[in-house]
């Protein structure tokens, strides 16, 4: 209930702020204004060329490690109750993942040149 009210109020505020310019601002345009911003010089080519970047691999790794972190939170919560066994459980879990991390590192997944 609390969160629903929070989302409602914050959402309304955000919507008002986003639409304020449309309601209160002037409306004047010209062809130069409608060009894509290119640090002042006229654009040399239209559109955006497809370019290859190595970000997707990073995002992949992020997804996997994010899942791991999500599992670690409940583990941390009950660590006080279990102590030793919990530590061994994590050790086995982390060892496998550390192997993966080292593999990705050695294969150059974290090289950005």
Partner 1 sequence: MSETLVLLIKIVVVLAWFLVLALLLTWVERKQSAVMQDRIGANRARIFGLRMFGLFQPFADAIKMIFKEDFVPPFADKVLHTLAPFVSFFFVAVAVTTIPFGPTVRIGGTAIDLQVYDGSAGLLFLLAMLSLGVYGILLSGWSSRNRWGLIGGMRGAAQLISYEVGLGLSLVGLIMVYPSLRLSEIVAHQGALFLGFLPRWGVFLQPLGFLVFFITAIAETKRVPFDLPEGESEIIGFYAEYGGLKWGLFMLTDFMEIIVVAALATTLFFGGWQMPWLGPDGLNWPWGGHWKMASWVVVCLQIVSFQVKVAFFCWLQILIRWTYPRIRYDQLMDLGWKLLVPLGLLNILGTGLIMSLK
Partner 2 sequence: MTADVIFCVLAVVSVGAAAAMIVSKNQGHNALFLVLCFSALGGIFGLLGAPFAAAVQILVYAGAIMVLFIFVVMMVDPRAGIPPERRRRAKLLGVGMGVVLLFELGVAAWGWLGKTASPVPPAGGPAGTPIAVGRLLFSEYVYPFEITSVLILAALVGAVVLGKKEESEP
Binding site for partner 1 (CB under 8 A): 2-3, 5-7, 9-11, 13-15, 17-18, 20-22, 24-29, 33-34, 36-39, 47-48, 53, 55, 58-59, 61-62, 65-66, 69-70, 72-73, 75-80, 83-84, 86-87, 90-91, 94, 98, 101, 105, 110-113
Ramachandran angles phi, psi of 87, nearest 5°: -65, -40
Partner in contact with 103, chosen from partner 1, partner 2, none, beta carbon below 5 to 8 Å by kind: partner 2
Instruction: State the SS3 of the chain.
Output: CHHHHHHHHHHHHHHHHHHHHHHHCCCCCCCCCCCCCCCCCCCCCCCCCCCCCCHHHHHHHHHHHHHHHHHHHHHHHCHHHHCHHHHHHHHHHHHHHHHHHHHHHHCCCCCCC
Partner in contact with 40, chosen from partner 1, partner 2, none, beta carbon below 5 to 8 Å by kind: none
The site for partner 2 (CB under 8 A) is made up of 1, 3-4, 47-48, 50-57, 59-64, 66-68, 70-71, 73-75, 77-78, 81-82, 86, 89, 92-93, 96-97, 99-101, 103-104, 107-109
């Amino acid at each position: 209930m609390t969160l629903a009210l929070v989302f409602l109020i914050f959402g309304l505020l955000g919507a008002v702020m986003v639409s304020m310019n449309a309601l209160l601002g002037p409306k004047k345009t010209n062809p130069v204004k409608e060009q894509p911003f290119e640090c002042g010089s006229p654009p040399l080519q239209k559109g955006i060329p497809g370019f290859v970047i190595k970000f997707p691999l990073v995002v992949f790794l992020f997804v996997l490690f994010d899942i791991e972190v999500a599992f670690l939170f409940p583990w941390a919560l009950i660590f006080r109750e279990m102590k030793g066994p919990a530590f061994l459980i994590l050790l086995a879990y982390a060892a496998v993942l550390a192997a993966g991390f080292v593999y990705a590192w050695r294969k150059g997944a974290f090289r950005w040149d």
